[in-house]
A = this chain, B = another copy of it.
């Protein structure tokens, strides 16, 4: 029942060398976190024994709480209020106190079923993932498309649209599609005898696809000389497109369930949410997660002040990478108050990441067995 593999070592955590807790302290901390996550109200000693069947008196719990507070795991809004977990308290909880259960069989089936209804090559897929994640975790969710950090040339298509525009559509080796319009003036310079037509474009495309398959941006650049003038120009554009994508993993972000976060009492007055919304819409906040995530897979939890972004000091992130290793990497996860139901959020994120791994791999590989 209890998930053996917890989410340890989430990297930026300054765990003091020996933070040994007694069994009682562990129980109290666990109870405080779970009670507070549930009620959003600072929890006092009496409530705690009443609701969690601790076989000791409130006074004993008080002394344990005082110890935990001294260690920095709990804090006090004011003298005569109950205790609230600190970021560090949540950290300890997540790493060694939490009882993490796998996702319900029924939920799993339901989720799978929803995915089976939708085409993988469309953004609908990601929208669905975001929506499921938000619904199931009760937080805001974020999903980015799977994308290779070093995508290579896959296949190019040059199109003359009904009007006089010329489009270069590049399918990358990771399956993503990017496009760019070809500059008219340049085309006219290359082909001074008249407008560049579909026939010209087709010839260039054939050349390019034969010559450039599987190449990276610098490799494409090295080939520039050996192609015809039109093909060279397009190859230049292709190289640019490859370079623009290089190293960038997070481009588009699909979010859902913002309303869930809005509902939380800690964000009742809009002020606090404002910063978060702004960060969310920029999306570069995910960029910083990429190195950590690629270094080691699995679910990563970032709690409150562990986040380097100021506006995020009151929220927690539960994220995981998905995709094919070294080919395409996507990120997905949830964002909620630090007072987040981790035992629910973590398995949900884990399951969805695994599912999307699976889908993406079968999408690409689809072996015959």
List chain A positions with a Cβ less than 8 A from chain B: 119-123, 152, 154-155, 157, 159-165, 167, 169, 171, 173, 175, 177-181, 184, 214, 252, 255-256, 258-259, 262-263, 267-270, 273-275, 277-278, 281, 363-367
Contacts and interface: CB of A to CB of B under 8 A. Distances in A.
A148 to B, nearest CB: 11
A181 B175 CA distance: 10
Given A171-B157, A267-B270, A181 B262 contact: no
A200 to B, nearest CB: 14
A243 B78 CA distance: 62
B259 A184 contact: no
Given A181-B121, A259-B274, A274-B259, A161 B154 contact: yes
A250 to B, nearest CB: 13
Contacts of A262: 270, 273-274, 277
B169 A177 contact: yes
24 contacts: A121-B180, A121-B181, A122-B180, A123-B252, A154-B161, A155-B157, A159-B171, A162-B214, A163-B364, A164-B365, A165-B364, A165-B365, A181-B363, A258-B258, A258-B277, A259-B273, A259-B275, A259-B281, A262-B270, A262-B274, A263-B270, A267-B270, A268-B270, A270-B273
A281 B173 CA distance: 31
Contacts of A259: 273-275, 277-278, 281
A227 B218 CA distance: 40
Contacts of A179: 121-122, 177
Nearest to A180: B121
A75 to B, nearest CB: 25
Contacts of A277: 258-259, 262
Contacts of A181: 119-121, 363
Nearest to A185: B366
Given A157-B157, A270-B268, A167 B366 contact: no
A163 B365 contact: yes
Contacts of A171: 157, 159, 161, 167, 169
A171 B155 CA distance: 14
A367 B163 CA distance: 10
A108 to B, nearest CB: 24
A313 to B, nearest CB: 17
Nearest to A275: B259
Contacts of A169: 157, 169, 171, 177
Nearest to A179: B121
Contacts of A165: 175, 363-366
Contacts of A161: 154, 171, 173, 175, 364
A267 B259 CA distance: 13
